[in-house]
Structure 1
């Protein structure tokens, strides 16, 4: 290959190789420094010096099939004092009827009905305004929260007044297809590992929108969730950390979630994630430049480099395809995209990362290592879709109308 193509190729290869070892080192340090340090398991939470009352907040839109189970598990939390608030955000199915029926049966549940679809961020805002307590645990309307998750999340707020938010550990419920099995491994091998490492290195890119706890004082200081961002979870994470609040990860706070198991559903979800990352980075870029905001620089740097990497990979593939049909200038000709010895090293590294991360997460879910075989397909399936979604999301975000409210779009929740 020539020098220009060599540059793209080397960058496309060395960046994921470097990041894999960076995540593994951070993840392992987290595991042995914080995780299970006292030998406790997720179903054996620590004894807190005091238990502040908590609001369990559930924004709902067309969750008729799932919300009853979600509320039942919230009401079963092993925590001394809490209330449950469900915000029905303009649902067109039977969500409102189910919530009213449940509220009549359980005094701890309050229901707020909004007349029209105004978006998850607005539903969270409304629920926060009517909540009685300083601490919120927010989950999606199709999620199932482990009985001890609230205690694990509250542990961080009790420990430090600087903690503004804590994100939990989502686990995949539906896994009947190849995409479902891949996501079981992804949430352990990629998402869980990255959150552990980011916690070690200083700042977390985002809390998990499906399960996160917040200090209301911190939310008030930063203006709550932005209603015009497609990913309210990334937005609130950056806002809190730019205001010098600590955002933490608690792997013992388990929540069981439904994920897309069709290519169309997966595409829509990942495109939204990619667009949300770009919107957040561009909105807060100038705010991150001052020296006193330097702890957020690694988050911005990692995101920016990953963005460039996606376009580099896309460029290599496009040049290779063009070279099959037209005579390309020598400096832009790509003879093959099949990996050589670098591909073998990268593949071995991926498998090592998968093994390390699945071993760490096996304390939360038995049989995880049985998913190891399916993770062989991860780079092909997910690197490809992540590259394409970023390439599409950036211009989509640039040319989209700014300032309009981001409303609900019912997701693909898989085959279950």
Structure 2
């Protein structure tokens, strides 16, 4: 069983991690310092995500796909496979048009820029440049993700519907442990050893000075080892925090500005998915590794205040998002000679149960509607009717032309026959010479 983080399907988490490599490029375009850009970047992403959710709530996924993801600016920007000055120039050219389309009007863009400018101590024009540039980049990244995952309009709506739980305050209230379990166990073992040595030293005879000195020397070594472990633990926790790139908590002010109305239903985890008996029954438990054939199946890991259905299209979206982020495609570099290939996800990683094990609604793969037969397709019927009508008209016209030609040719034939009848018959008679001489002599 292979687990993947639920944040891989979160637009906010994906965009925050995806845009980190281009902080310096955005700072140069907006003429901001790097600390100002980092703060303005997270706030701008919150505003854009909220505006996109509000747009989908008003117009649904089909309009999002046609009017936003398939815009000419997004198609032009998708021709660039890396971030550089050519890419940022194309972004600057289309930024106002795209920002107005996402936010609805320019007034909201200005108001959002003013709100962010007060937080980062910058001018409204500088923040507006950063915000509008990010609008184009965000549409490009989400359009690529939806295209690679082959999401239809219905799945696009479901993807947007899952986003509010990643922005809720309950999700960010979870405290992330600052130490790894292995290091905690090693530290506890060392502390237990230290306490045991101290107790044994107190029980021994205090008269032996040499033994006491040795024990004190051992205590000092153990204490130094504990300090070393604590240093390693803090360094590991710092590195882990840097790798996860958890975005800051979401500001609900953006819901008020964009007019988005999130559903306040608490996320309920699927208890059948959470119980070990169910996982063991379908072969996804660690106790059943040799019996089941689902050891390579991809499932979502459990996360505080997050509940995701285990559906094939969503798992495919999560895996492609993970592959896309691992490629770090927004790093500042020259355009590659050949464009990178789209991420490929094995169907075996996303497939359903291969043996006769019970399934639930969340485990059942999506069943697409069967295609309609040709004779029930209105387009095919219309084409057949048009072709049949044109063929009938052509046949009728041919018959009419044929009858007209026949009627015109009949008088000519009659006239020729009359002329032939008017001609005199000429007979050629051969006269014998002897008969002619006899007739002459008689005369």
- The answer to whether TM tops 0.5 is no
Larger radius of gyration: 2
The structure with the greater share of residues assigned to helix is 2
Give TM-score scaled by structure 2 length. Answer: 0.21
The structure with the greater share of residues assigned to strand is 1
Give TM-score scaled by structure 1 length. Answer: 0.22
